[in-house]
Amino acid sequence: MPKTTDVAIIGGGVIGCSIAYQLAKRGIRSTVFEKDSLGSSASGATGGIIGPIWYVDHTIEPYFDLAMRSLDIFPWLAQDLKDSGVDPEYRPYGVTKVALTNELHEVLKNNLIWQEELGIGVQWIDRDELFERDPHMTPEAQGAVFSPQEANIRGQAYVNSLAHAACKLGATCIEGAEVTGLEFDGDRVIGVRTLTDVYHAKHTVLAAGAWTGLVNRWLPETIPVRPIKGQRITIRMRGFSPMGPVQSIIPQNDGTMFAGASREEGAFDHRITTSAVDGLFDNATLLYPVLKDAEFVGARAGIRPGSPDGMPILGPVPGYEGFSVASGHDHVGIILSPATGVDMAEYIATGDASRLDFFSIERFTDGRPQFVPKTLFSNISYDK
């Protein structure tokens, strides 16, 4: 006999767990199926910067709105998750971006015009003040922009806290449960198959990250999501750690720092490579020369889900009742996760997908204008 759940969620990364948590808050029972362990790919490997003004194109209004709503949600969400029993390790100490070249100085100054209009306290820090705040900074620094309401979070802890809180409210998370296909009744998706069980559900969400695009796994049509590998390193230097993220140096609660992140198109593996590690160290020491003597603690790789236009694919899949997708967030999955969870849960609960229309998979086939997001810090290399 098939088992049952209100909503089947394929994928136990930050997006799947965010949806499960928001559904649980609405009293909707979901089951999250994760083929490995929760947060085992991009969500756990992320640097965890919550910096929408740097990584999300502000000229694409619905995209930037999703990011800024998420920024507003994060403080109380992090507190709720911590109160539920697992600390997501949210650090609300702002984000700093440093002008290391004349070109970057000009770009940061130009961007400051619209950033100041957001009303979130974004400000320029001149060279002298920057060195007073951060004497370890490279003498090449020409100044910086500080965004005090942005933050960072530890991706693995965040996923764990979402799953814990969701399960306390009635969700179920099953690790080591690979979904091998969907169950159909005509053109309606009625659940999922794993290697050992069949689960029937009123609604099924495909939130499998880069694996969303597996050919012939889910539907006869291919969902346009591709793998983009990223690697980041963990370092430690006793007595030194910035308060919040500075460029790609991201402090952690345990005294270590993440330095990230590489970007490798089409790579579908989790191997750590010496070329990526060397490049991440080089970038770190360009910003903070003192880090040449830092301890190498470890490294981690994850596979991000990329879409054709770099923006998430959210909402119902045409032609398949009871089935939706939430994937394609690329390098901003953490940043967009709170509002994504809220909007997907609201759609599943009410059937109203209007808030997700801009992110519909139909945008790739219905002739609407295609946007190409532009971001300054999606993949940093300071010497180029």
Mind listing the pLDDT tens digit for each residue in 203-254? 999 999 999 999 889 999 999 999 999 999 999 999 999 999 999 999 999 9
Q: Percent of the chain scored above 90 by pLDDT?
A: 93
140 alpha carbon, distance to own chain's centre? 31
- Residue type for position 212: T
Domains of the chain, first to last: 3-85+155-224+308-364 (3.50.50.60), 95-148 (no CATH)
Q: What pLDDT does 379 receive?
A: 47
**Average of pLDDT values for 182-200?**
97
Q: How far apart are CA 85 and CA 163, in angstroms?
A: 11
Q: Interior CA angle at 323 toward 265 and 160, to 5°?
A: 60
Residue 380 has pLDDT above 50, yes or no: no
Supply the pTM of this predicted model. 0.96
Q: What pLDDT does 377 receive?
A: 65
Q: What pLDDT does 378 receive?
A: 56
Closest CA to 82 of 158, 170, 169: 158
Instruction: Count the Cβ atoms, other than its own, within 10 Å of residue 244.
Output: 21
188-191, long-range: CB < 8 A, 24+ apart = 188/320, 188/321, 188/322, 188/323, 189/320, 189/321, 189/322, 189/323, 190/322, 191/2, 191/5, 191/8
Give the bridge partners for 206, in sequence order: 10, 325
Lowest mean pLDDT among 17-26, 232-241, 256-265, 360-369: 360-369
Q: What pLDDT does 376 receive?
A: 65
pLDDT in tens, 314-345: 999 999 999 999 999 999 999 999 999 999 99
Instruction: Count the Cβ atoms, other than its own, within 10 Å of residue 293.
Output: 9
Q: How far apart are CA 79 and CA 52, in angstroms?
A: 20
Average pLDDT, the chain: 95
